[in-house]
Chains A and B, each alone.
Chain A
């Protein structure tokens, strides 16, 4: 059963520390998304990649967030330094784009708490 895998599922860290979240997209998918979910803002698109190239990271605070795809099986989202306002659930999703519809398959998320 193909699925998107995110690690860790939960992370508690102190303000100022570096946080790295990892995502393994579904094999064969060529598009990867990073979303952040909070009660106040709902789902926000942070960044997305196609064929490992960043297409749009305008939703991401550039001074502290970075997203990369070192290879087709791994996407990373890094926060350095972390702040309490970064506390949220971060979702990775992957999809296979083509004509017409491009649905995304979501991982279970990383719940980040910055204290």
Chain B
């Protein structure tokens, strides 16, 4: 079945440091890829997405590129802020041939990010 593997956490950085959270996936079809963020006490929020190979999703300074050849979707940010402290989830959405998505999301285990001033 489909699966998503994220880098081990937690990750602790100083403000303005560069962030990378690795994500690789296994899928039988051609999935859409997502990064979600969860702040304390809240539900998950979509951070960015990519739907086909070489697409780059971006939002709030975060970026991730859909790499089909390495089955990866690594999250990056050039300069993190204290307010970026949260749990980050990589996810994929299965899709049957022809492009119609079932929308069933498979999540990685999450990576806790803490940013210190």
Residues of A that sit less than 8 Å from B by CB: 4, 31, 33, 42-43, 45, 48, 50, 55-56, 91, 93, 95, 97-109
Q: Knowing A91-B43, A102-B103 touch, does A42 contact B109 (C-beta < 8 A)?
A: yes
> What are 7 A-to-B residue pairs whose CB atoms are below 8 Å?
A4-B43, A45-B106, A50-B102, A97-B102, A105-B46, A106-B45, A107-B43
Residues of B that sit less than 8 Å from A by CB: 32, 34, 36, 41-46, 49, 51-52, 89, 93, 95, 99-110
CB atoms of B105 and A101 under 8 A apart? no
Our pick among B42, B52, B101, B109 for the contact of A102 (Cβ within 8 Å) is: B101
CB atoms of A55 and B43 under 8 A apart? no
**Chain B residues in 8 Å Cβ range of A95:** 103
**Chain A residues in 8 Å Cβ range of B99:** 99-100
User: For chain B, what secondary structure do more than half of its interface residues adopt (helix, strand, loop), or is it mixed?
Assistant: strand
Taken together as a complex, chains A and B put the C-alpha atoms of A103 and B95 apart, in Å, by 12
10 additional A-B residue pairs with CB within 8 Å, beyond A100-B95, A101-B93: A43-B89, A45-B104, A45-B105, A50-B103, A97-B102, A101-B32, A101-B101, A102-B32, A106-B44, A109-B43
**Chain B residues in 8 Å Cβ range of A100:** 32, 51-52, 95, 99, 101
**Chain A residues in 8 Å Cβ range of B52:** 100
CB atoms of A55 and B102 under 8 A apart? yes
Most buried by B among A4, A93, A104: A104
Our pick among B51, B103, B107 for the contact of A97 (Cβ within 8 Å) is: B103
Taken together as a complex, chains A and B put the C-alpha atoms of A33 and B94 apart, in Å, by 14
CB atoms of B102 and A98 under 8 A apart? no
**Chain B residues in 8 Å Cβ range of A93:** 43-44, 105
CB atoms of B43 and A103 under 8 A apart? no
Q: Knowing A99-B101, A102-B102, A109-B43 touch, does A43 contact B107 (C-beta < 8 A)?
A: yes
> Within the complex, what minimum Cβ distance (angstroms) separates B33 from chain A?
9
CB atoms of B100 and A99 under 8 A apart? yes
Beta-carbon nearest neighbor of B30 in chain A: A100
Beta-carbon nearest neighbor of B41 in chain A: A108
**Chain A residues in 8 Å Cβ range of B106:** 45
Rank and list the top 9 A-B pairs by shortest CB-CB distance, nearest first. A102-B103, A106-B43, A102-B101, A97-B103, A101-B32, A43-B107, A106-B44, A100-B51, A42-B109
